[in-house]
Chain A
Amino acid sequence: QDSIYVPLLTYRTGAFAGSGIHIADGMRDYLTMLNERDGGIGGVKLVLEECETGYDTKKGIECYEAVKSKNPVVMNPWSTGITLPLIPRAAVDKIPILSMAYGLSASADGQTFPWVFNPPATYWDGLSQIISYLGTKEGGLDKLKGKKIGYIFLDAGYGREPIPLLEQLAKDYGFEVKFYPIAAQDMQNQSSQWLNVRRDKPDYMVLWGWGAMNGAAVKEAARTGYPMDKFYSVWWPGDDDLRATGEPAKGFKSLNWHSADGNYKALADIKKHVVDKKLSQANPDKVGEVLYNRGVYNSMLIAEGIRNAQKVSGKKVVTGEDVRRGLETMDINADRLKEMGMEGFAQPIKLTCADHNGHLATFMQEWDGKKFVKISEPIPPMVDKVKPLLDSAAKDYAEKNAGWPKRSEACDKAS
């Protein structure tokens, strides 16, 4: 066998396809580009296979089982619901899980979860970044005192996860929080929660949605006349979500950690080697948009993980075990980014045995009516607030799952 098998769990169908398609395209195109341009990684071709999950846990697990026997080097579940059941299996099946900025936040703790990686930031990081951005805008975090922040979220584990931190921050900085849960089946039917928003008149709104919920939330905000420039979101809204509302959505802001345009050599290569050769399923216009680039970033992490694995193991054809080590020793610095043709595409990131996340500083971007533009410098997360939460969550997980194995995997030096 002289190839490396990389399965991609994607969802181009179902209720969340609107977001899933772009991510899938980005992921696939970047890796295809490596195959086309460089003949794979370290001279070894990548064998790519998509498995359609429809964002459904059942199908996701079926996909996992289907690809498991083909020696995958890494799994990208692309859904928190699919990630959770896979976490305990990863160590047993020796396949690392890369859940990029989703999944179980606690899995940032590499000592407890040697097989799970969720770079570059956790939801707790994201929330703290939004709050500190608000703080700077107000002229200091202490100025948040007495302010009212509305939190509109998908009523699921994903949307509920930041709540403890949000409550704690509210206590620490003296602001008030209002919660607006949106059930999955009411994603596109949010009017009553927005009535509540109208009544409560929060000073800021924070959005924690996914799929059709994001677009609908922006539309509803425009309908109710909520000032768009006070509306912030975690990193999941894509260009399409905003475009549906168009001009009135101007001023909407969300976090991001990578560029939202296509002016990078790597993306140009994708255009040249993949899109123009009709090897991509993507609509060329979408190359360089937020979610497409998110997919690209995800694949970049995979590729780096594999490259590192080749380095630490000295093998060409690496295994899942090797890629786990590769990911743990990943250090993408500015030089490396430049080498990859991604200079300025994202900040440098470094993972370690203990830290599987990186807690990257993310920046704020704003919708200008046509596209997202970066409007802030990277905002570091509030480590002091986030770290204890992460630690206790990881400990909690290990305790509740009695018999959760202690880390036995050796720790490599960064290569």
Chain B
Amino acid sequence: MSQAIPTPAGVPAPDAVLVVNNIEVIYDHVILVLKGVSLSVPQGGIVALLGANGAGKTTTLKAISNLLHAERGEVTKGSVVFEGQRIDKLSPNQVVRRGCIQVLEGRHCFGHLTIEENLLTGAFTRRDGNAAIKADLEAIYDYFPRLRQRRHSMSGYTSGGEQQMCAIGRAMMSRPTMILLDEPSMGLAPQVVEEIFEIVQKLNVTQGVSFLLAEQNTNMALKYATYGYILETGRVVMDGPAVGLRENEDVKEFYLGVADGSQKSFRNVKSYKRRKRWLA
């Protein structure tokens, strides 16, 4: 039903840093996961990628940062353009060098390295000297004081949330112009979730970093994002400015959990078991 805003598929907005053009992704040569996804991230924008489990959010992000290869997946169709140049044929480290970095879903810290070493590996591609790196390190510690406390612990032994902070901090260490954030809020305490989004906004405003966030916490995502896409089983089923999406009735009910104007209770879940599927 309501496709309130027309999809800009294939028509890159003039000021887009990142344009994903109708990509198709296959895993293991047989499992088709993305069936033509297009999206674009404007310069200095924060774009949210929403969708149920298994919709293909992570896959989309990996397709952009070219990490699919490592999972025996491949982009069989379409193109990815970053800052005006195609990056779908580059190696992952070249993509990072150009300023586009991904924070992997599910932490993926280097378990045998300390938190600090983890953060420093983030600066691998940088060439601007130790002083600058040191300064950035301090900045990260200021963002996440918990990390400063644990800086000399092996990250494999830190708690889930600490690892998540470490992963985000590590990505920031590369001074990217674009960050692909995969479920940043997962496993973080509410306070920290808010802080993370504040940081995202701050980086966005002060340094002009663009963001593409895959997020399950729709509430938060739509609050901070400027634009949103909703994915379902490998297709974009809806997109539009965040404000618009927030007001959409379906989104409200199924993603934000607001029905009849008030928050639902989880106690009450059995009273409704109705699902929204755009692609029936």
A and B touch in the complex (CB under 8 A): no
- Residues of B with Cβ closer than 8 Å to A? none
- Residues of A with Cβ closer than 8 Å to B? none
